[in-house]
Structure 1
Amino acid sequence: MSMCGWVCLVTGASRGVGKGIALQLSGAGATVYITGRQEEALNRTAAEVKERGGACVPVICDSTKDKDIEDLIERIRREQKGRLDLLVNNAYAGVQDIFDNLGKKFWEIDPSIWDSINNTGLRGHYFFSVYASRLMVAQGRGLIINISSIGGLQYLFNVAYGVGKAACDRMAADMAMELRSRGVASVSVWPGAVQTEMVNKLILAENVSPAVEPTTKRLFAQGESLELAGKCIVGLAKDKDLMALTGRTLMTCDLARRYGVKEDDGRSIVDYSSVRFMLSQVPALAWLAPYVPAFLRVPHFVLALASSRI
């Protein structure tokens, strides 16, 4: 119960990574407000939190509706006497559209996919951050986390997805510049391939679409559990050197190593910056991967430089 007394808000927590984060934060003792658009699914998450002995407040909230966001933050201010310690911007609405359009070029896709992907998963994050920051700045402490992905660094899925994730990373970095002096940290967190409910349905099922490449299916077959990111975020929230990390983009595999986080079933966590993993993704070189020590990693600045456009 190391986060006893904390007040947290996790958006998009009715399923997937958001649900896993809410379960872990509440398990650490925090009071967690969770949002979602579907009442039944949201209440299932809340029921699971309570079954584990945690404190959870489910709130129907559409991240594309500004009034919903403003009203929720005002409710937290009122109910928690102005306290909000942690915001996790996780809500996302474009997964089905992404998988429905796998393999298509941006000019072949209805341009409204931009709104499907980025209204909730980018614009909503900004609005939540603005209102949450007002509480955090007033109390002189807090942490804002944008859930993003490696799609912000290199091409993944489609143009709208990559632009949105790159913007989430940049948002976290730029907010950190303005929040640092007020004692509030802002970071972007990249989970790896996560075995969410949608992934199990759209990628790992036996009747998977032929548009899903075998390499993608293999990657998710060894993917992270729903709650790994939550375990990492609990460690991050309690980190005594948190302000040294503000503004950065952090991988869950790195956070897991930093905080000694393990998967409950004992399986290893894929280290996406390891030389072994990178070799395993190149068919001609995959045979070398088992012979490379697991501790050999490519420095993150090299990954950034490799994707630099300057």
Structure 2
Amino acid sequence: MTEPKIALVTGASRGAGRGIARGLGEKGMTVYVTGRTVTPGDARGWDGTVLPGTVAETAAEVTKAGGKGVPVMCDHADDAQVAALFARIAAEAGRLDILVNNATYIHHQLIEKKPFWEKELDAARILDVGLRSAYVASWHAARMMVEQGSGLIAFGSSFGASCYMHGPAYGAQKAGIDKFAHDMEHDLRGTGVRTVSIWMGPLVTERSAIASKTNPEQYEGFIATAENPEFTAHILYALASDPRGAELSGRTLIAAEIARELGVTDRGKERPSYREMLGSPPAPNPAAVY
């Protein structure tokens, strides 16, 4: 593959998406960053406090990091807005090298210790913005990437695809995007376009900082070794740049483990894998039924 130059990170007003966009900016990339937040105050943490972050602020951070940030207000629950986003990228950049599917609906009860039927039904919206939205973005990206003969479609996933984490809706969304990477690879084989799903460890984000205070007995240990989201970005950049990355297409990878193989560190540090504690990604299944 040629050196990746144009990326799209969805759901990048704050959190993992913001850090991933910034990390790709550190590699000199032009990064389109999407989100719904254009003025602070639209999102709140687990304790009700207003969370910082807008798409414009993230884009500015990308530029400051050495790339070029392009903010785009986009609601990924709206297919028309997503179509317009990709049309804009095609018109302005002429190509897309990395898509990072990160946009996810975060329900305010996500980390509450309640069974799913005692949480609001609205928690299932993660299957709309988080699962379906990733399919829609990947559909548009594949059309661009197949034509150019290269590209990486990535999904930000977690160990919640294997173990119980935050309830069944969250788990189904993560397992679903892992399956997207697996099955899309089958369809994309031979086109030069790759797919991968990344199980990130605990991340340093605005919400995780609040979670460690809200549920210290559960989160403090994890936060002590939490990954910077830029770490994920550097892994994805390496996978997109390395010709050997094609061998990993369709796989679900644990960030800490594949980083060691690729020689990528998190600001000079290696991060632990939680495989033994939280589970393993599924092995690729070569069977195909039409």
For these two proteins, the number of residue pairs brought into alignment is 269
Shift of 1:123: 0.9
Q: Tell whether the 8 Å contact from 2:4 to 2:237 is kept in structure 1 after alignment.
A: no
Cα separation, 2, equivalents of 1:171 and 1:268: 28
1:78 aligned partner = 91
Cα separation, 1, equivalents of 2:216 and 2:20: 29
1:24 aligned partner = 23
Q: Which of 56, 64, 68 does residue 69 from structure 2 map onto? A: 56
Q: CA RMSD in A?
A: 2.1
> Percent of counterpart pairs with the same letter?
39
**Superposed CA offset, 1:167-191 (max 9, x none):** 1111111111001121111111111
Q: Tell whether the 8 Å contact from 1:4 to 1:30 is kept in structure 2 after alignment.
A: no
Shift of 1:213: 6.4
Q: Tell whether the 8 Å contact from 2:260 to 2:270 is kept in structure 1 after alignment.
A: no
Match of 1:19, as an amino acid?
R
Change (3 A) 1:74 1:169: same
Shift of 1:216: 3.2
Q: Which has the larger radius of gyration?
A: 1
1:228 aligned partner = 231
Note if 1:270 corresponds to 2:272: yes
Match of 2:76, as an amino acid?
S
1:120 aligned partner = 129
**Superposed CA offset, 1:137-183 (max 9, x none):** 11111110011111111211101111111111111111110011211
Note if 1:204 corresponds to 2:212: yes
Aligned-partner SS, 1:160: helix
Cα separation, 2, equivalents of 1:53 and 1:220: 28
Structure-to-structure mapping, 1:1-310, within 5 angstroms = 6-40=5-39, 41-81=54-94, 83-94=95-106, 96-99=108-111, 102-115=112-125, 117-201=126-210, 203-205=211-213, 208=214, 212=215, 214-264=217-267, 266-273=268-275, 278=277, 300=280, 304=282
**Superposed CA offset, 1:205-232 (max 9, x none):** 3xx2xxx362433122321123211121
Shift of 1:95: 5.0
Q: Tell whether the 8 Å contact from 2:6 to 2:97 is kept in structure 1 after alignment.
A: yes
**Superposed CA offset, 1:52-100 (max 9, x none):** 232111100001010110000011111122x11111000112153303x
Q: Tell whether the 8 Å contact from 2:109 to 2:119 is kept in structure 1 after alignment.
A: no
Q: Tell whether the 8 Å contact from 2:27 to 2:66 is kept in structure 1 after alignment.
A: no
Match of 2:115, as an amino acid?
K
2:51 aligned partner = none
Q: TM-score, normalised by structure 1?
A: 0.81
Unaligned runs of 5+ in 1: 282-297, 306-310
Q: Tell whether the 8 Å contact from 1:21 to 1:233 is kept in structure 2 after alignment.
A: no
Shift of 1:267: 4.7
Q: Tell whether the 8 Å contact from 1:8 to 1:84 is kept in structure 2 after alignment.
A: yes
Match of 1:72, as an amino acid?
L
Match of 1:106, as an amino acid?
F
Match of 1:219, as an amino acid?
F
Cα separation, 2, equivalents of 1:232 and 1:5: 13
Change (3 A) 1:188 1:4: closer
Higher relative contact order (CA 8 A, sep 6+): 2
Aligned-partner SS, 1:35: strand
Aligned-partner SS, 2:198: strand
Match of 1:110, as an amino acid?
E
Q: Tell whether the 8 Å contact from 1:195 to 1:221 is kept in structure 2 after alignment.
A: no
Larger deviation: 213-222 or 144-153?
Answer: 213-222
Q: Tell whether the 8 Å contact from 1:4 to 1:29 is kept in structure 2 after alignment.
A: no
Shift of 1:204: 2.0
2:45 aligned partner = none
